């Protein structure tokens, strides 16, 4: 790790102004991706602005059919939240399956979403549920938020303050974990509601994506068999030591069917 300046602002305004003043700043929102890369000297911010002091960013609330999770809410708190369990149990289950105990007790939803790791779990939930990312500047629908590998529409100094989830229909998430890292090799999130079906897949491609082929098929028939014969476009699929493109494409169907089976 290189030397850096550590800040722990107590208001969003202070955080933004620190960011503006610093040479090469980064926000710290849990740090379970950022700190290991800093320790390996792969990331070297001059200033680390820890959002842990922003109490207004933590917490879970529900108003009508909208579940709001503050950006600095830790995975463990989402997993344990009765509000989340009652509103969107699949989201609580997803949070319970992120990383390990240490990660869940430190990592936050805002940090995970802002990082947009192609194998992270939360982006699948946001995209699958049609969530909205609320920032210091705007509210962005999840459909527009995730751009590509480790890339989102967030601008310099923009801070996620909350994620809001519509509470509608039922949902399920199943992850096929990389045997070594236990990140998602493929994770499929499906939300079925009155307006149709949303399917988001993480791990398979360079960024989380909505699977329009599956959505179309499942909207007309919500059954495992609806996915038979569908070939996914795999141009931007990931290939690594643990999974080939073909294997990932195959797993998309297998895991999606398991999600469907658990919902029907």
Residues that bind other proteins in the complex, under the rule CB under 8 A: 2, 40, 176, 179-181, 240-244, 247, 250-251, 254
User: At its nearest, how many Å lie between other proteins and the CB of residue 178?
Assistant: 8
Residue keyed to tokens 């999770």: 69
Instruction: Considering the complex, state which of residue 11 and residue 228 has its C-beta at the smaller distance from other proteins.
Output: 228
User: At its nearest, how many Å lie between other proteins and the CB of residue 179?
Assistant: 5
- Yes or no: say if 25 and 39 are a contact pair by the CB < 8 Å rule: no
Using CA atoms, how far apart are residues 107 and 51, in angstroms rounded to an integer? 12
1: which residues sit within 8 A by CB, 6+ positions away?
Answer: 38, 39, 41
Q: DSSP assignment, residue 206?
A: S
- Yes or no: say if 185 and 248 are a contact pair by the CB < 8 Å rule: yes
Instruction: Considering the complex, state which of residue 103 and residue 254 has its C-beta at the smaller distance from other proteins.
Output: 254
Using CA atoms, how far apart are residues 256 and 84, in angstroms rounded to an integer? 23
User: At its nearest, how many Å lie between other proteins and the CB of residue 38?
Assistant: 13
Q: How far is it between the farthest Cα atoms of the chain?
A: 57
User: Got the DSSP string for 7-43?
Assistant: E--SSHHHHHHHHHHSSSEEEESS-TTHHHHHHTTS-
Instruction: Considering the complex, state which of residue 2 and residue 64 has its C-beta at the smaller distance from other proteins.
Output: 2
Instruction: Considering the complex, state which of residue 99 and residue 130 has its C-beta at the smaller distance from other proteins.
Output: 99
Instruction: Considering the complex, state which of residue 105 and residue 178 has its C-beta at the smaller distance from other proteins.
Output: 178
User: At its nearest, how many Å lie between other proteins and the CB of residue 181?
Assistant: 4
User: At its nearest, how many Å lie between other proteins and the CB of residue 204?
Assistant: 14
């Amino acid at each position: 790790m290189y030397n850096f300046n550590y800040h722990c602002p107590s208001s969003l305004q202070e955080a933004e102004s620190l960011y503006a003043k610093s040479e090469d700043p980064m926000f710290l929102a849990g740090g379970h991706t950022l700190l290991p890369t800093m320790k390996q000297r792969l990331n070297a911010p001059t200033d680390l602005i820890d959002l842990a002091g922003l109490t207004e960013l933590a917490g879970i609330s529900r108003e009508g059919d909208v579940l709001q999770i503050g950006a600095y809410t830790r995975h463990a708190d989402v997993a344990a939240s009765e509000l989340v369990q009652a509103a969107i149990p699949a989201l609580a289950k997803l949070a319970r399956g992120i990383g390990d105990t240490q990660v869940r007790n430190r990592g936050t939803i805002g940090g995970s979403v802002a990082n947009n790791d192609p194998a992270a779990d939360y982006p699948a939930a946001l995209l699958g549920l049609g969530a909205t990312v609320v920032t210091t500047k705007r509210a962005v629908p999840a459909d527009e938020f995730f751009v590509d590998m480790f890339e989102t529409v967030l601008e310099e100094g923009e801070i996620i303050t909350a994620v809001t989830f519509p509470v509608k229909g039922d949902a399920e998430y199943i992850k096929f974990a990389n045997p070594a890292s236990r990140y998602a090799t493929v994770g499929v999130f499906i939300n079925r509601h009155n307006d149709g079906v949303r399917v988001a897949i993480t791990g398979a491609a360079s960024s989380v994506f909505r699977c329009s082929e599956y959505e179309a098929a499942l909207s007309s028939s919500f059954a495992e068999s609806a996915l038979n014969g569908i070939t996914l476009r795999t141009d931007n699929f990931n290939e690594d030591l643990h999974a080939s493109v073909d294997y990932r494409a195959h797993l998309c169907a297998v895991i999606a069917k398991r999600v469907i089976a658990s919902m029907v």
